[in-house]
Structure 1
Amino acid sequence: MPASFKQTAFGPTRTRKEVCPDGSIHLRLEQPLAPYPEKLTEKLLYWAEQQPDKTFLARRNRQGDWVTLSYRQTLDQVRSIAQYLLNLGLTAEETIVILSENSLEHALLALAAVHIGIPYSPISPPYSLVSKDLGRLKHCLQLMTPKVIFAQNGRVYARALQLAHSLFPSATIITAEEGTAVGFSELLTVPPTSAVEEAFATVKPASVAKVLFTSGSTGLPKGVINTHQMWCANLQQITQVFPFMAAEPPVFIDWLPWNHTFGGNHNFGLTLYHGGTLYIDDGKPTPQHIETTVRNLREISPTAYFNVPKGFEMLIPYVEREPELRQTFFKKLSILFYAGASLAQPVWNRWEELAVETIGERIPIITGLGCTEAGPSAMFANWGGSFSGLLGVPVAGMDVKLVPNGDKLEARYKAPNVTPGYWRNEEATGNAFDEDGYYKTGDAVKFLDDENPDKGLIFDGRIAEDFKLSTGTWVNVGVMKAKVIAAGSPVVQDVVIAGLDREYVGVILFLNADACRKLCNLSADVSIQDAFQHSTVKAYIDQLLITINQTATGSATRVERAVIALDPPSIDLGEITDKGSLNQRAILRHRASLVDQLYQPEPTSQPINH
């Protein structure tokens, strides 16, 4: 018998399924949504009173020591910053833009803005640091028209700040480090007045808390309006999914960026909602930064751990070879939680094995379905024994409408945690909702068991990404991508599916350079191009196609050819989103030459094509 799961308090999953005459299906959780605060910083006021000395936020300084902020210190500094903003004349009609990464200063400025009702927008750092033309940053700035612009480090973000100043010369620029603009420390010296709490009193549930930019599948980023009601409602919904977080204040060690809804709304928000502690991890799931994450995990025992699939995959070798790291990591852990992409089943299985080897029990691995427009969470599979691709059941207070679209069901949402629309974009807002006011996600789902909705929904791809072959056969892009990545991991990092109006399915593969070098026994200084074009990699891809096609049931599930992308996805061309996922449409459009290679009458002699 397999080891049992760690006893963890999860919320109920009993749902109601209603089939309507028009063929649509409504799915709701029977448990009602409990009351929640009108605005998020009510929780800051509460915890500063109840546990003033408890650490709320922590981040390492340049010397490697943890710098901490207690709940009382956070509230005091938030009030001073809020007064500074009011002294500048900021109102609910003005905005603040944050250009840089997660930091204590980022958190304080954001909370100050939220506290007094000034909309703020954290912009994806790659828009400033990776982009060559700063086109997406310019678009976001022009849409926000900020009166205050913040960057953690004035030197690192010099190019972005120069652009911001040229667009908005009267805006106040603030930096925390190496800057010639207003120093962040100046904001902390401003004595707060009664004006701060007067402004707080005017903030309503429908007031805009922040604007999160989402890349979308086409075009420039759209600014998703996040109201106070959205944020607070979703945090209460998540709490009812994971009641153990309310029973004991959580401890998180987290790198996920606050410009994205997963890190900024979900993880940061849950910490504050439950009076927990968030250790800011400056690492990332990349070869250059994974060691930073591991260092932090050697010291901090999280009660829940959040990551993207790539992050979980990269941590496995460290956890396997370091017994003390394993003990520290699993000691207080209730769940592992992933989002952003499918978790390969071998990675899932190995984490369960590592938990059993360490504490004698399996740790529930949790995911669900959500989006920036849902603040972010719409459904969860909150039980042990789940599997990759299972999305679970709706959160409390969420009405999920499943609408037939061809042979698929599109998920649409109506709930207090759903956005009212897009910032200064009436056309996009109008197109996002159906005639009954449901947000159209574009996500396709299906029931695990048509007769028992309590078993949850399964991801069935993206409506807009699926296509027909020339034979008229539909190709499910989401399912095909998951299949290729699961079979090709860790060498295959991501994949784009081609074949619209063609005779067969072809794939563009984005590979993991380190995994390729390891596969070929190459040193770290061997170039990416040489590693990708090595004969061993070619043989690996050949075998991958054979493996995938052994379970193919027809042309829609068979991959005839693969081509390897030698260049990484471009942020300027919109090939990669701010959360690191690939934009299928953009890559097919901008890499037409690779697509042409897939469909040449005869395979070329180039080693990158099979």
Structure 2
Amino acid sequence: MEDIREVELGSLRATLEHHADGSMRVRSLEALPPVATRLTDRLDYWAEVAPERVFLAQRDATGAWRTVTYGAARAEVRRLASALLARGLSVERPLAILSGNDIEQGLLGLAAMLVGIPFAPVSPAYSLISTDYDKLRTILGKLQPGAIFVSNAAPFAKAITMAIDPAIEIIAAAGSLPDRAVTAYAALAATPETAAIEAATAKVGPDTIAKILFTSGSTGLPKGVINTQRMLCANQAMLVHWLSFGVTEPPVLVDWLPWHHTFGGNHNFGYVLTNGGSLYIDEGKPTPAGIAATARNLREIAPTVYFNVPKGYEELVPRLRADDVLRKTFFSRVKLTFYAGAGLPPHVAKELNALAKETTGERILMVTSLGSTETAPAALSCTKETARPGVVGVPLPGVELKLVPTAGKLELRVRGPTIMPGYWKDPEQTAKVFDEEGFYCLGDALKFAVPGDPNGGFIFDGRISEDFKLATGTWVSVGPLRGKLISAFAPFVKDAVIAGHDRDDVMALLFPEPDACRAFLGAEAEGKSDAEVLASEKLRSEIGQRLSALARESTGSSTRVARVLLLDELPSIDANEITDKGSINQRAVLQRRATLVTALYANPPCSEAISAT
């Protein structure tokens, strides 16, 4: 690894124990660093040590960067906390946030945490994209919030009218509503600081609920995950050990990852705050339309560590290739690139390495991690030695894994200080996800990267709940097969749904990437609808050739995909086919599109089917 840029990472070592019931225990050998009592203690610390350092930044309406320093953030957080206490917000009446990342949300969340008021950032998609607002109603019904914040009231007007009790106070940084009063965020921020803050803060301890994060609903309706101060602070202590370079060099992030998810809201936001770093809020998105804003921001701000999902890197790579300034700025001081949420396509990793090498003469270490909303999130992370494609790492300090043989795989269960105490007001679901020894059951499967050696890292082996048997009794491992399909059909396919339960063959429904399909067809695609593009013989032939090549490489019926169908209808968030973060719900897609699955398996199949030869 001599051509990789130097980066300081803490060691991750583990020990393996075999138990009589066939299960295994994997425990970290690393000591967990001291754990803070409250995450907001770090705001107090940095406001004293580096009061003029930028904490949060975002573009204003003119395109200039609007910033708040640690000193200013602490002062405003305390005024906001006084305002929240004056409204009687509490565990019984928490704060809900419906809009996306911005400075005001960040400060409001810290204010709520400071005085022990739980807050719940809710996906904006449930208000702005959904048309039936069922998920929003479900979430707010469970929360029973005492107040709701939105950055701009106007875009949320319909959702507020349709789904929110008129008695609940609406707080907004901008905008108004036609049929109800709105409290200005500025009014809260101007509230005089009161002595009640100190009394409330003194009651905040490790078991205090900091926030409630709702799962993305990839396996059902969203569940409210209770995040305690212990969870958040312990996970940051783990990251202080692992991402140790951030301790001596305060991190600079340019980050779009949403704060209503644990990756952006706990992992990244907390990492910046804990280490006195600066977070530049990226208004871009990992989409063909949204990547332009991300590229603009990265042209101006050089990150020291870069976090993204695989799709984000896939969209960024062509921009890096085409823009010298962007490429030089991006690679100028970045110590580490990190992805999570899905596997990184090999061609994307290869291109990133090539671009870094061409630009700086060095590659940048790329790592991943494994965890969930219920684990705060990081449970396993990669070392320099285990940073290989497919490897999700080794347990972090304080984490204990239990590997249980299940359906030919090793089911992953986790125990440690970062595990949730349960789901919000849902004891039945809570009981279902913990085993008799108190291990949280993620539903994921792992396998050893090096047989029998936990220090070689673990490979993600799919989700137990998604796997199924063919009519022959052969198990199909959905996760790895889905990843193989997406990689084989790149860049034409963004996701795949695997079918075949109790059938003779595996088949798949493919969600295409329309822009990539159009680019492949060139002039032929001009003036055509998406459905007409997908029906193109040139595209179908290309997909067919790749499918046939994949079939020839398969090792048996469980890895051979006999037919595929390109879908011209996007997955529906209201029908629970896709989550707000873009994860596909296998079961929901197969149920909603059962007619297409039947047509795919017909003999002869429907004319739209593409078969392996």
Name the TM tier (shorter chain): over 0.9
- 1:100 and 1:73 mapped to 2: Cα distance? 23
Alignment match, 2:152:
153
- 2:162 and 2:48 mapped to 1: Cα distance? 42
- 1:178 and 1:528 mapped to 2: Cα distance? 37
Aligned positions of 1:238-277 closer than 5 A: 238-277=239-278
Name the SS for the 2:341 alignment partner: coil
Alignment match, 1:91:
90
Name the SS for the 1:427 alignment partner: helix
- Out of 553, 558, 574, the residue aligned to residue 555 of structure 2 is 553
Alignment match, 2:537:
535
Give CA deviations for 1:139-168 in whole Å, capped at 9, x if unaligned. 001000000101111111111222344xx3
Q: 1:201 to 1:62 in 2, by over 3 A?
A: same
> What amino acid is the match of 1:350?
E
Name the SS for the 1:461 alignment partner: strand
1:603, distance to aligned residue in structure 2 (A): 2.4
Give CA deviations for 1:276-321 in whole Å, capped at 9, x if unaligned. 0000000001122110111001001001111111110011111011
1:609, distance to aligned residue in structure 2 (A): 7.6
Alignment match, 1:42:
41
User: Which piece of structure 1 moves more, 362-371 or 215-224?
Assistant: 215-224
- Out of 566, 575, 578, the residue aligned to residue 576 of structure 1 is 578
Alignment match, 2:171:
174
Name the SS for the 1:555 alignment partner: coil
Preserved contact between residue 214 and residue 578 of structure 1 (Cα < 8 Å): no
- 2:567 and 2:462 mapped to 1: Cα distance? 23
User: Which piece of structure 1 moves more, 54-63 or 196-205?
Assistant: 196-205
1:268, distance to aligned residue in structure 2 (A): 0.7
Is 2:71 the counterpart of 1:69? no
Name the SS for the 1:156 alignment partner: helix
Give CA deviations for 1:106-153 in whole Å, capped at 9, x if unaligned. 111111111111011001111111111000001001000000101111
Preserved contact between residue 499 and residue 590 of structure 2 (Cα < 8 Å): yes
Preserved contact between residue 564 and residue 609 of structure 1 (Cα < 8 Å): no
Alignment match, 2:564:
562
Alignment match, 2:339:
338
Name the SS for the 1:80 alignment partner: helix
What's the TM-score once normalised by structure 2's chain length? 0.97
Give CA deviations for 1:175-203 in whole Å, capped at 9, x if unaligned. 11112401111111111011112111111
- 1:487 and 1:454 mapped to 2: Cα distance? 30
List alignment gaps of at least 5 residues for structure 2: none
- 2:494 and 2:144 mapped to 1: Cα distance? 37
- 1:445 and 1:598 mapped to 2: Cα distance? 31
Is 2:321 the counterpart of 1:320? yes
Give CA deviations for 1:496-555 in whole Å, capped at 9, x if unaligned. 100000100000001101100001004676432222222222112101211211210111
> What amino acid is the match of 1:232?
C
1:406, distance to aligned residue in structure 2 (A): 2.0
Preserved contact between residue 538 and residue 607 of structure 1 (Cα < 8 Å): no
Is 2:194 the counterpart of 1:187? no
Preserved contact between residue 533 and residue 608 of structure 1 (Cα < 8 Å): no
- 1:46 and 1:413 mapped to 2: Cα distance? 32
Alignment match, 1:226:
227
Alignment match, 1:115:
114
Preserved contact between residue 597 and residue 609 of structure 1 (Cα < 8 Å): no
What's the TM-score once normalised by structure 1's chain length? 0.97
- 1:107 and 1:537 mapped to 2: Cα distance? 45
Aligned positions of 1:432-447 closer than 5 A: 432-447=433-448
Alignment match, 1:510:
511
Q: 1:384 to 1:450 in 2, by over 3 A?
A: closer
- 1:10 and 1:525 mapped to 2: Cα distance? 52
1:34, distance to aligned residue in structure 2 (A): 1.1
Alignment match, 1:278:
279
Structure 1 residue ranges, 4+ long, deviating more than 4 angstroms after superposition: 522-525, 607-610
1:608, distance to aligned residue in structure 2 (A): 7.0
Give CA deviations for 1:543-602 in whole Å, capped at 9, x if unaligned. 121121121011111010000111111111111112211011111111101211220011
Name the SS for the 2:17 alignment partner: strand
Aligned length: 607
- 1:145 and 1:301 mapped to 2: Cα distance? 41
Q: % of aligned pairs identical?
A: 46
1:385, distance to aligned residue in structure 2 (A): 6.7
Name the SS for the 2:154 alignment partner: coil
Aligned positions of 1:273-422 closer than 5 A: 273-383=274-384, 386-422=387-423
- 1:425 and 1:91 mapped to 2: Cα distance? 19
Name the SS for the 2:140 alignment partner: helix
- 2:219 and 2:337 mapped to 1: Cα distance? 32
Preserved contact between residue 126 and residue 578 of structure 1 (Cα < 8 Å): yes
Alignment match, 1:27:
26
Is 2:469 the counterpart of 1:468? yes
Q: 1:3 to 1:412 in 2, by over 3 A?
A: same
Alignment match, 1:104:
103
Give CA deviations for 1:12-71 in whole Å, capped at 9, x if unaligned. 122101111111111112111111111100000000010001000000011101000000
- 2:542 and 2:413 mapped to 1: Cα distance? 40
1:327, distance to aligned residue in structure 2 (A): 0.8
Preserved contact between residue 547 and residue 611 of structure 2 (Cα < 8 Å): no
Name the SS for the 1:520 alignment partner: helix
Q: 1:32 to 1:532 in 2, by over 3 A?
A: same
- 1:216 and 1:151 mapped to 2: Cα distance? 22
Alignment match, 1:204:
205
- 1:468 and 1:477 mapped to 2: Cα distance? 10
Preserved contact between residue 265 and residue 375 of structure 1 (Cα < 8 Å): yes
> What amino acid is the match of 1:128?
S
- 1:340 and 1:175 mapped to 2: Cα distance? 31
Give CA deviations for 1:72-108 in whole Å, capped at 9, x if unaligned. 1111111111111111122333211000010111111
> What amino acid is the match of 1:309?
P
Preserved contact between residue 443 and residue 464 of structure 2 (Cα < 8 Å): yes
> What amino acid is the match of 1:562?
V
User: Which piece of structure 1 moves more, 69-78 or 380-389?
Assistant: 380-389
- 1:164 and 1:106 mapped to 2: Cα distance? 21
- 1:384 and 1:402 mapped to 2: Cα distance? 22
Give the CA RMSD over aligned residues. 1.4
Name the SS for the 1:209 alignment partner: strand
> What amino acid is the match of 1:339?
A
User: Which piece of structure 1 moves more, 207-216 or 246-255?
Assistant: 207-216
- 1:437 and 1:291 mapped to 2: Cα distance? 46
- 2:593 and 2:42 mapped to 1: Cα distance? 48
Give CA deviations for 1:304-357 in whole Å, capped at 9, x if unaligned. 111111110011111011122111001110111111111111111111111111
- 1:81 and 1:163 mapped to 2: Cα distance? 28
